[in-house]
Amino acid sequence: MIRFEVSDTGIGIEQKDIDRLFESFTQADASISRRFGGTGLGLAISKRLVELMGGDLTCESTLGEGTMFGFSLSLETPPDMEPVLKPLPAARVLVLGEPSNGTRILANICRSYNMQTRECANEAEALEAADEIEQVDFVLVNIADGAGAGVEVALRLAVEPQLEGARFIVTVPANQAPQSETDSTVVAMLRKPVRHSSVRSILARQLKVSDSRSSLEISKEPQNPLAPVEEETPLQILVAEDNAVNQRIFAQMLGLLKKEFRLVSDGSQVVPALHERPADIILMDVQMPVLDGLDATRAVREAFGDLARPWIIAVTANAMHGDEQKCLEAGMNDYISKPLKVEQVAAAIECGRTALRSQTIPPTS
């Protein structure tokens, strides 16, 4: 028997609302500008899946303190299950970055491979640690200012005698397109949010370890299933999305498409962001706090008076009849529904790019 629990210290749920949480298309707050979005299907689907596996999904909550969802399952261990991943050779690793969850996660991932790992808050600490270690094999550079700053740090440290022969891996922020590997010093770029499998892939390649399952073969970057259109001038993309998980999904998808973007977390920030720097395309979530996507679009059209630029793509979990027309009437140019697929996002961006190039607007009816 194994127990799964997910808890938070959020706003909590009133007891009278708990029973109906598991009903389809039900939420405690159904307004379009509510603080938390969604269609009210997630818990209903999750409960059904748990029941199909012989469990029961339950909820405990205290208003103003938080909520806990949990379920128990009786699972069998597969017989004679062989490990897919080969152990990595011992290596000595420095993880350089300001103390943060990201730096700690990187260090803990390396420790999980039984690597001798030290966390260093700055270059001086990295050099001190290197003095205490016979030979540093890898330096993982996690700089908040981005990949460019990380590469500069790597190149400065690489000339220090204590780090002679060390290989540097630099993290790349989610909203930056990954750069290709630079030279024998900076051997790889690691996209955030950092994944266990991505770190292992890079380390395994550098340590010349080949895993047994073909789907886990090591490559410099995940193969992009789409061939991005070469652009003379890169598109300026703005993403308006309040949900942190969806922000990461956009980052991964736009990263695959080699698109850089800016991010705002609610509709009231869209017009100021456009005054700061114009955008060609906006991926606009419809359900956002403070100012929802429909009102944010109206504000954009009123501020700039152009129905074609920026090209605004509605992104919504609502797939009900009439929702698309509401978006178009608000001044949006296109509409895609969640759950998103990278091909769907790519097609919408390409449609916008083509329309902007020709300065034509497709029919909205």
- Condensed to tens digits (0 to 9), the pLDDT of residues 141-189 reads 998 877 678 888 998 999 999 999 899 999 987 666 555 445 667 888 8
Q: Identify the pLDDT of residue 218.
A: 30
The answer to whether residues 34 and 293 touch, using CB atoms and an 8 Å cutoff, is: no
pLDDT in tens, 244-290: 888 888 988 898 888 889 999 999 999 999 999 999 999 999 988 88
Which among 302, 300, 325 has a CA at the least distance from the CA of 310? 300
**Overall average pLDDT of the 338-359 stretch:** 84
**When comparing pLDDT for 279 and 363, which is higher?**
279
pLDDT in tens, 190-218: 888 788 888 988 898 888 876 543 333 33
Rounded to whole angstroms, the Cα distance separating 181 from 183 reads 6
> Residue 303 pLDDT more than 60?
yes
Structure tokens at 85: 């991943």
Pairing label, strands 66-73, 58-62: antiparallel
pLDDT in tens, 58-73: 999 988 888 999 999 9
Rounded to whole angstroms, the Cα distance separating 5 from 344 reads 33
**When comparing pLDDT for 139 and 15, which is higher?**
139
Which among 246, 286, 249, 250 has a CA at the least distance from the CA of 270? 286
> Residue 326 pLDDT more than 70?
yes
Q: Identify the pLDDT of residue 68.
A: 92
**When comparing pLDDT for 169 and 14, which is higher?**
169
Mean pLDDT is highest, among 171-185, 219-233, 342-356, for: 342-356
Q: Identify the pLDDT of residue 112.
A: 86
Query: In terms of pTM, does the model score above 0.75?
Result: no
Indicate the range of 129-138, 224-233, 256-265 predicted with least confidence: 224-233
Q: What is the mean pLDDT of the chain?
A: 81
What domains appear along the chain, each with residue ranges and CATH number? 2-73 (3.30.565.10), 92-216 (3.40.50.2300), 237-358 (3.40.50.2300)
> Residue 225 pLDDT more than 50?
no
> Residue 117 pLDDT more than 90?
yes
Q: Is the dihedral of CA 327, 333, 335, 336 positive or negative?
A: negative
Distances (CA, A) of 36 to 17, 28, 317, 351: 16, 10, 12, 29
